[in-house]
A and B are shown apart, each in its own frame.
Chain A
Amino acid sequence: METPERPLRVAIADDALLLREGIAKVLADGGLEVVASVGTGAELLQVAARGGLDAAVLDIRMPPSYRDEGIVALEEMRAQGSTIGVLLLSMYATPEYALRVMGAGSGTGYLLKERVSEPQTLVRAVETVASGGSVVDPEVVEQLVQRTRADDPLSRLTERERSVLELMAQGYSNGGIAQTLFLGLKTVETHVRSILQKLDLEESPEHHRRVLAVLTLLGAR
């Protein structure tokens, strides 16, 4: 995670004016520079096309159809080769959307809208995606883990390994997991290796692919 010499330049897209301004305030208070604040995905695409952005925060449901405009805008940006961090906000914690967002590539995140009442979480998520990391809302991970499946591979994990896995799925790095669970980095690395082995997942050096693999596993169980 970079320590910005200059503040990260962020654009916001949300059709709800009240929230848009609130988010802008939270981000500004967190030391980020909000360079644009628009109401639709199309407008955000125009802003992004002008360049100079580090990250974008998008509502998923926006005009015109109030369906998945935010994700469509993300996919459009990635298709055009943009690699800026993109954080999607949603009123619902929908695993299917989280998977789609992660599937769009690295530097993406999916958070519940109510996280705006936790300024640090929001700011840190923006910073994470801006630096190419991944963020997934804990509630989504919780839903995925709660899903029941026959011969569940998760049953092979220990309690501690499950906690580690949940944080992995949310986009935490090994260091972040160590910090959160008050464990040594070595211990976390051991857990992670054990988890990947038990779940037949490949050890990927790339942080984002690890998140996607874990989420996919959880979703496809």
Chain B
Amino acid sequence: MAPGRKGRIIRRTIVIALVVAASLTMEITGFIATPEALRREVSWTTLHTIVPLVFAACAGVAWAIGPSRLPARLMVVFPLVWIPLSFLRVIEHVAWLWPFVYGVHLWWAVLTGILVLLYPRGRLIDGVDRWIAGIALVTSVGYLLGVLLLGQPSPAVCDCTANPYLVADAPGVFAVIDVGYRLIGVLLAIVIAVRLLVRWVRGSVPARTVAFLMPIALIAWVITLATQAAAYASGGADLVLDTVSLVAIASIPVSFVAGIAHARNMRARVADLMRITREGADRGLWAESLARTLRDASVRVYWWDEERARYADASGEPLDDDTPAARRGDHGLLPVSSPTGMPIAVIRHDRVLTDNMRLLDGVSSALRLSVDNGRLRSEIERTLEQVRQSRSRILEAGDEARRRIERDLHDGAQQHLVSLGMRLRLAANQARDRGVEPLGVELDGTIMMLNQALKELRELAHGIHPSLLSSGGLALAVPELAGRCPVPVEIDVQPEGRLPEVVESTAYFVVSEALANVAKHAQATRGWVRAALVDGELELVVRDNGVGGASAEGSGMLGIADRVDAVGGRFRLDSEHGAGTTITVHIPLAGFAH
């Protein structure tokens, strides 16, 4: 936990504790100071004491999760202005204080009203709300001034000493102020209640279900104010109504906190949906998350099936517009299409969710994003796979072409030249038999030239494709390669059997290129070639004890890397200066035909 956060929590706890202590002090001292005959019932007093405690507790929660600090601050101030009238008896002889206390003893109602207006954003949303709050505050200050300047203690409340701030003895004017203030309070409360009810009715179903306390609390609160006003006018109080009003007031901060907690939860789940979207979840998981987000288990997502030109869910069940439920209109259908107008999916949801268009909008955006992501990803994957396959095919075709050329040379030109040599020999022999020695000598020379040509052709054919690789595999072809290298090379070729053709030709190419590098650049005195099968892969290591410093960007190394890459293998070059050069290649065997 961060120290700042810890300090904040301690500060808030202390504030709440002080406020609670102050509130309890007022209640208890007031109860004790009231003569027994005038005391209210203990049960009522207890309930009256609990109300500020509930506010204080909710302040703690609101501080932690609230959209702003204002609601929490209002809740924490509430216990201080929740002043029982009985407390006046405690301070009845403190002349300078009691008018102030009396002047603010109804401010809790103003705080509560503003608190309700703050729901659920934590701030006043529009001008009407600000007007209501402004009027309430101005009249409250006015009432405080009225009490200070004109207030006379009522014997029913306390045996207060004379008001030291009194400027005029005008009980009639003060009574008008007193009643007027309460009337304005009731009117404002009714306006607030109506606004909130309208907002609640228009609100989203899930929010409504959790914050159901709010309208009840509001109604009870309005009744309370009306009752209080009536009780004040008539001078009596109804115990049942009073009790209901206390419960209603206590339930306001509770429903406030519960509502914002739920909204928070909801936002977190939409965020979840976005996260799942970003991670490219499969369709089943997506539909499941959607149902969780919307709190509607009946939500189904039907995806557009391009081939069959219809919507179907993840398990392949098509969208049926003709079910009894659909005919009854229990479900709403939300079509989602891509920015280019291509159909993506249809979300079938409970009709009541239609009210919550903002949520559905967010959901369909997430879905659009998800599908676009998925489409792009699969398109890239498909393209990449095509490129991979075509590269592999080109490679195999190239290998095959070289093999064919070598075979054509072997079966064609080479055989013909060999036959030709044979016939020339026969001709030479015949020439000698007939005593034409110079012709014989001439033909001998021709045969020698022919054999030289054959030797060159043999080298050429070998360069195009080593027949030894086709017939004997790496176990024969690698030693033969090593034998051609001017640097002595130690060989350890484990794969005795034959490997897939592409793997063999790639490995041969790698060893051939690597040994060419050893011969040309490494200045090595020894080389090593190792080939082994490790975990379904051919592992090739070509090492030398030369000067090192080979660059992976050199044409030879690039050629090796490209070739290995084309068969899905891995290439690694270690060539520090002075530490020799090691080329390590892994070629997977899977996926290639023998």
Contact = CB atoms under 8 A, between A and B. Distances in A.
Q: Are A and B part of the same complex?
A: yes
A94 B476 CA distance: 10
Interface stretch (A44-52, A112-120, A180-188): A112-120
A92 B470 CA distance: 13
Interface in A112-153: 113-114, 116-119, 143-144, 147-150, 152
Interface stretch (B4-12, B191-199, B482-490, B551-559): B482-490
A62 to B, nearest CB: 11
Interface stretch (A15-23, A155-163, A201-209): A15-23
Contact of B423 (A22, A29, A96, A149): A22
A114 B451 CA distance: 7
B252 to A, nearest CB: 91
Interface residues of A, number: 34
B386 interface: no
A115 to B, nearest CB: 9
Interface string B426-460: 10010000000000000000010011001000100
Interface string A64-100: 0011100000000000000000000001111111000
Contact of B479 (A22, A96, A119): A96
A92 B467 contact: yes
B264 interface: no
A117 B421 contact: yes
Interface string B402-413: 000001001100
A219 B476 CA distance: 12
Contacts of B467: 61, 91-92
B416 interface: yes
Interface residues of B, number: 38
A147 B418 contact: no
B415 A16 contact: yes
A25 interface: yes
A73 to B, nearest CB: 14
Contact of A117 (B416, B450, B476, B488): B450
Contacts of A68: 471-472
A186 to B, nearest CB: 34
B500 to A, nearest CB: 16
A16 B422 CA distance: 14
A117 B424 contact: yes
A87 B496 CA distance: 26
B422 A148 contact: no
A26 interface: yes
Max chain A C-beta neighbours (<10 A), residue from B422, B423, B479: B422
B447 A117 contact: yes
A92 B418 contact: no
A148 B519 CA distance: 12
11 contacts: A18-B419, A23-B422, A26-B425, A68-B471, A92-B467, A113-B418, A116-B425, A117-B418, A117-B425, A118-B425, A148-B485
Q: Which 3 A-B pairs have the closest CB atoms?
A: A117-B421, A67-B471, A150-B488
Given A16-B415, A25-B422, 20 more contacts: A22-B419, A26-B422, A61-B410, A61-B471, A66-B407, A91-B414, A92-B468, A93-B458, A94-B468, A96-B480, A97-B468, A97-B472, A114-B417, A114-B418, A114-B421, A117-B422, A117-B447, A117-B451, A148-B486, A219-B479
